[in-house]
Amino acid sequence: MYRSTVIVCGGTGCTSSGSLKVIETLEKEIGEAGLAEEVKVIKSGCFGLCALGPIMVVYPEGAFYANMTPDHVKEVVQEHLLKGRIVKHLLYDETVAEEEIKSLDQTNFYQKQLRVALRNCGVIDPENINEYIAYDGYQALGKVLTEMTPEQVIKVIKDSGLRGRGGAGFPTGLKWSFAAANQADQKYVACNADEGDPGAFMDRSVLEGDPHVLIEAMAIAGYAIGANQGYVYVRAEYPIAVERLKIAIGQAREMGLLGKDILGSGFDFDMELRLGAGAFVCGEETALMTSIMGKRGEPRPRPPFPAVSGIFQKPTVLNNVETYANVPRIILNGAEWFNSMGTEKSKGTKVFALGGKINNTGLVEVPMGTTLREIIEEIGGGIPNGKKFKAAQTGGPSGGCIPASHLDIEIDYDNLLAIGSMMGSGGMIVMDEDNCMVDIAKFFLEFTVEESCGKCTPCRIGTKRLYEILDRITKGQGTMEDIPKMKELCHFIKENSLCGLGQTAPNPVLSTLQYFEDEYIAHIQEKRCPAGVCKDLLSFEIVPDLCKGCTLCSRKCPVGAISGTVKNPHVIDQDKCIKCGACIESCKFKAIIKK
């Protein structure tokens, strides 16, 4: 029995911040302090507060240490673990009170969250099946195999109101019922863990922090539809997730929770991993299944839908990681429990990857119906440096930009669609007044042009032409005729593309045109970028009255565009200037302005 447990985040975010070195130092210092038999170290998944990584929590006190370094670790071992004195100056400041240490769920970041899909992330050791079992793991699988018929399982999922968390929001139970109704000698259960949206890392975090929940949920789905084989299609760029999935699958097989005659029920189910090579289009279900079969990942027309003809032309159910992560809890707690959360048409919770111009970058899970303002201002901690909120991009390249006028919108599938955006998989990129919305639309469209598989003309050619118009506008070469031309082009791309990539590609353009058309007009008519982002429309000037002639800007300029003598105002040669901004960054007197 250990007297203290130290949990260190071993997810990708904290690993990139140096958490592995923190763990190595922690184990070394604990050993040298003679505490190896008293203190247990666990490498967990993501806690959510990625901006504070590396993160370390010491129990039973619940002391939440943030931005840890190896030197900090030495102090925590000597003071906290050896002498019992919590090192307050290393704690996350929101947990520090005068006479007590506040728990995480009392902080602004966590108190409005409701963790269902993320319930075990940052709590258990993801490489130890026994810890998952200790938190009711595999009880749901045991329940369905011993107490429920496949029809009853599907009814519970239907009654819960669970909808797909991958973007489209299709009712999960209904999808399962379609596959169950098809008689075939072989059926498959598949998981979309490809997660190609820029800024999205929800599925990755579940796989890294709680891989067994996916295994259990896919086995339940297999029992419900009559499938004995599962495939997880996961990005090869997720090495930690892949490794932990492999470990979890091996452990489940050893315990008889995967394979033949699971729990003596006569039900067989096993699963394999398939690594994706980073093609965004393989997030589309038919392209993903084609890739699983070893072919080029391209979509195909539907019908037939995967529930009729999917992997190897057999009935297949495909859901994403977050959707599956809800299933075991629904089975154990009942449909009414899940149904009681969220809004009328969007039940349960939703995980968002919060990034961009936000103080608390990280992963949040909130009930459907939580307002955008609550997520950004309360959970996210607001916009840094006193800047104003301008827009939030949800749904990645398939979504749209939500302006400040809709900051109080209750987030669910239907509300977001109504204002020109979409839920998507859950990426949420926050923008402030320094973001150019024309440039944002161009950024996402450039991504979809690059990721188009090229199979259908509307997507292959249409998105390219749309990008070219946006590129001209950001260079000051646009005309007012470009605006109706873009709207018309968006319409034809949406209506005629083969798959969801092309059908949703125009959304960032349409939403920015809807809410920020004045910025497009400024680029076209005034040859000006209001946010000061588009380089071709910028000029850098030195204010003579503010310039002290320190020469620092001229020394930093990479192209020698700044001239002047010591203690005299300098001048920028506009023909030479490449508008890199190095001069502004180096000027200590704020004498250089961007116009």
> Which one-letter amino acid corresponds to residue 357?
K
Distance CA 271, CA 258 (A): 8
Q: What percent of the chain has pLDDT over 90?
A: 92
**555-575 pLDDT, tens digit each:** 999 999 999 999 999 999 999
Distance CA 407, CA 258 (A): 46
> Considering Cα of 508, then 509, then 515, then 519, what sign does the dihedral take?
positive
> Averaged over 137-145, what is the pLDDT?
98
Taking CA 40 as the corner, what is the angle to CA 39 and CA 44, rounded to the nearest 5 degrees? 140
Radius of gyration of the chain (CA): 26
> Averaged over 588-592, what is the pLDDT?
94
> What fold is seen in the domain 349-432?
Ubiquitin-like (UB roll) (3.10.20)
pLDDT for residue 424: 83
| DSSP letter assigned to residue 513 | H
CA–CA distances in Å: residue 312 to residues 259, 293, 503: 21, 7, 26
**392-427 pLDDT, tens digit each:** 999 888 899 999 999 999 999 999 999 999 888 889
Distance CA 335, CA 329 (A): 9
pTM: 0.93
Query: For 437-525, which CATH class?
Result: mainly alpha
| Residues 527/571, Cβ–Cβ less than 8 Å | no
pLDDT for residue 388: 96
**491-505 pLDDT, tens digit each:** 999 999 999 999 999
Band the pLDDT of 541: cuts 50, 70, 90.
Answer: very high
pLDDT for residue 32: 96
Distance CA 116, CA 195 (A): 20
> Averaged over 76-96, what is the pLDDT?
95
Q: Per CATH, is 539-594 categorized as 3.30.70.20?
A: yes
> Considering Cα of 281, then 282, then 286, then 291, what sign does the dihedral take?
positive
| Residues present in the chain in total | 595
Q: Over the chain, what is the mean pLDDT?
A: 95
Boundaries of every domain in the chain: 4-106, 129-338, 349-432, 437-525, 539-594
pLDDT at 98 over 80: no
Band the pLDDT of 199: cuts 50, 70, 90.
Answer: confident
Cβ-count burial of 398 within 10 angstroms (0-12 exposed, 13-18 middle, 19+ buried)? buried
- Domain 4-106, CATH: 3.40.30.10
| Residues 540/512, Cβ–Cβ less than 8 Å | no
567: left (phi over 0), alpha (psi -120 to 50) or beta: left
> Averaged over 38-48, what is the pLDDT?
95
**129-338: CATH homologous superfamily?**
NADH-ubiquinone oxidoreductase 51kDa subunit (3.40.50.11540)
Phi, psi (deg, nearest 5) at residue 257: -95, -5
